[in-house]
Amino acid sequence: GNSVTQMEGPVTLSEEAFLTINCTYTATGYPSLFWYVQYPGEGLQLLLKATKADDKGSNKGFEATYRKETTSFHLEKGSVQVSDSAVYFCALSSIGGGSNYKLTFGKGTLLTVNP
């Protein structure tokens, strides 16, 4: 079945530090890949996505490139801010049983950015 593995947290950085959160996946076919972010007390929001190999998703200074050869979709940001503190989820979307295009999530990585 499909699965997503992302680096375990928590991750603690100082403001303006470089961020990488690793994500690898296992899936049949050609999944779409996503990063969702969950700020404290809120639901998940789509951060960025990529729908085919070599696509780069980007938003709010975050980037991730769909690497089919390494089955990876690592999240990066060059200079984090305190406001980036949140839980980040890597996810893939593919067709499952019963034609259900469901999202399969990683376990989440808690990022804390200190001033």
Partner 1 sequence: EAQVTQNPRYLITVTGKKLTVTCSQNMNHEYMSWYRQDPGLGLRQIYYSMNVEVTDKGDVPEGYKVSRKEKRNFPLILESPSPNQTSLYFCASSLYQGMETQYFGPGTRLLVL
Which chain residues interact with partner 1 by CB under 8 A?
Answer: 4, 32, 34, 36, 41-46, 49, 51, 89, 93, 95, 98-103, 105-108
Report the residue number, 43 or 115, with the smaller CB distance to partner 1. 43
Report the residue number, 17 or 58, with the smaller CB distance to partner 1. 58
Whole-angstrom CA distances from 63 to 41, 77, 81, 84, 90 are 24, 6, 15, 14, 13
State the minimum distance, in angstroms, from the CB of residue 113 to partner 1. 21
State the minimum distance, in angstroms, from the CB of residue 69 to partner 1. 22
Report the residue number, 4 or 19, with the smaller CB distance to partner 1. 4
The Cα–Cα gap between 36 and 16 comes to: 21
State the minimum distance, in angstroms, from the CB of residue 32 to partner 1. 5
State the minimum distance, in angstroms, from the CB of residue 6 to partner 1. 9
How far the first Cα of the chain sits from its last, in Å, is 41
